[in-house]
Amino acid sequence: MKRRLLFLLPFLVLALLVALVPVPVLAEPTTRYITVTARQFAYDPPVLRVNRGDRIIITLQAADVMHGFYLDGYGIDEQVEPGQTRQIEFVADRTGKYRYRCSVSCGPLHPFMIGELVVEPNTTFARAIGLMGVAVAGTFMYLRRNSVEIN
């Protein structure tokens, strides 16, 4: 019995490591409400950071003239008139960096009106998968070992 417990110890340690080792981002998928203001010739904020799986609800507004919001990789293209708002909704289901740019010719520096959406991997999800892997491996090894002993 004591030997069995000793055998399980490495798996317990591994499970603790997977669960507790600090990583930069720890968050459940969530709904994020973000207001993006477009003005000649920039977006505020210029960078949006979200986690994979997050539902993003952007309220787009234009501060001066009509602007657009074209998001690479997500097939989103919306326009907004000054004084109005437009709601843009999507799930950030792909990690990576995606540029958003103005899709309405709004002045001489229009081509430089660019922002960036950064979708980080969701580490909570990765941890859950990791823990499951350790549990499955531990169970498998334990059962195998016991069956060898019985034979």
Residues near Cu ion (CB under 5 A) are 67, 102, 106, 113
State the nearest-atom distance from the C-beta of 110 to Cu ion, in Å: 5
Cβ closest to Cu ion, residue 109 vs residue 143? 109
| Residue of this chain nearest to Cu ion (CB atom) | 106
3-state secondary structure the chain: CHHHHHHHHHHHHHHHHHHHCCCCCCCCCCEEEEEEEEECCEEECCEEEEECCCEEEEEEEECCCCEEEEECCCCEEEEECECCEEEEEEECCCCEEEEEECCCCCCCCHHHCEEEEEEECCHHHHHHHHHHHHHHHHHHHHHHHHHHHHC
| C-beta of 8 vs 66, nearer to Cu ion | 66
Q: Which is nearer to Cu ion, 22 or 83 (CB)?
A: 83
